[in-house]
Amino acid sequence: MIYLDTHVAAWLYADAKLLPAGVGQIIEKNDLLISPVVLLELEYLYEIGRLTERAAIVFSYLSARIEYGAHNLTHMAL
């Protein structure tokens, strides 16, 4: 199980090619989670103009597309 960092979540949304070498393989082999703090940070980045989409859109996009086998992207409950 891996908790995605804010940068990794943003890079996956923008273009998976932005990830450092080897990260894709690690992601493929693990269940992925995004903490509520990452969603908060993504929303902040949107508000200050660093991202073009709101956190909810980024999360929806990632959760629909990042499914490696049985691995699903989910958010951590508080």
Q: Report the DSSP pairing between strands 73-75 and 2-3.
A: unpaired
Report the number of distinct structural domains present in the chain. 1
Query: Domain residues for 24?
Result: 2-75
CA angle 42, 2, 72 (to 5 degrees): 80
Residue 31: CB partners within 8 Å, gap ≥ 6? 1, 2, 71, 72, 74
- Whether the model pTM is above 0.85: no
Residue 75: CB partners within 8 Å, gap ≥ 6? 33, 34, 35, 36, 39, 59
pLDDT tens-place values along the chain, 78 residues long: 888 889 988 988 888 777 888 888 888 888 888 888 999 999 999 999 999 999 999 988 888 876 533 345 555 544
